[in-house]
Amino acid sequence: MKSKKEAEAGRKIMTILGILVLLVICYFAMNKYEEAFMSGENKSFADSSISDVQSQTENTFSGGETTTSNPEPSYKNDTEIITEEVVEETIAVPYSLTAEQMAIIEQTISSSGFLEAFPKNGIIGLNFYDFAANGERVWSGIILIGKSGLLTSGSPDLTLMVSAKYLSQLNGTNLCEVLTGASANGEMWAESDKSEASLIWKYSGMMKYKDCLGF
């Protein structure tokens, strides 16, 4: 028959073994629970992701709009279209002197008494103007006058701007008379890039013709 001490020792050993068995059972039970819980959570997340993808795909192919967190900006063209009215302009054709007019001009200049008083290096220009149909002033081009009569080149000291209507008044001898009348009517004026003092000095021998020359 076993002693009392041996019996107590046996009970303690059995109690310890029982506790160890319970701990092992609890450990395995917890592992199984965590695996089952994690597996179910992952499956739910995966199902949710697949469902979102399928929903977006169906909307894309069915013509629906897919809403994203960063939608593409929408732009509206607000540029104002300005219609410009094209105004047709009338181009003014330069006034051309006829051969007959040039002949009478040359004859009248050549017979003018002021050529004798003309300085050797002096040049005066004549430029006749008329008006085009649109009211724009048009010019004949400068006719150069020197001591010898008409010149083919040179730079004028001053240019007399004269209305072309006075061409019909030239008779071959009355240049100064016609130019003086045009000046009195405000239809002739002189233009120059030189000072009045320098012109008077250079053309001092022609002062009696100052009204004719626009001085």
pLDDT digits (tens, 9 = 90+) for 42-100: 445 445 554 554 555 455 444 444 444 555 544 455 545 444 454 444 333 446 788 89
Residue 24 has pLDDT above 80, yes or no: no
When pLDDT is cut at 50, 70 and 90, the band that residue 169 belongs to is very high
For 140, the token pair is 């004949």
**Regarding beta strands 158-163 and 124-131, do their DSSP bridges make them parallel or antiparallel, or are they unpaired?**
parallel
pLDDT digit string, tens, across residues 176-193: 999 999 999 999 999 999
For 99, the token pair is 């051969």
| Confidence (pTM) | 0.55
Dihedral angle over CA of 198, 199, 204, 210, nearest 10? -150
pLDDT over 90 for what percent of the chain?
35
For 121, the token pair is 């290096």
The residue-averaged pLDDT of 153-174 equals: 93
Residue 164 contacts residue 127 (beta carbons within 8 Å): no
pLDDT at residue 78 in the model: 52
Q: What residues form DSSP beta bridges with 131?
A: 137
What are the C-alpha distances in Å from 116 to residues 15, 198, 205, 213?
A: 157, 20, 9, 15
Q: What residues form DSSP beta bridges with 161?
A: 127, 189
Average pLDDT, the chain: 75
The angle at the Cα of 141, spanning 139 to 144, to the nearest 5 degrees, equals 140
Give me the sign of the Cα torsion angle 186, 190, 195, 198: negative
SS3 for 121? coil
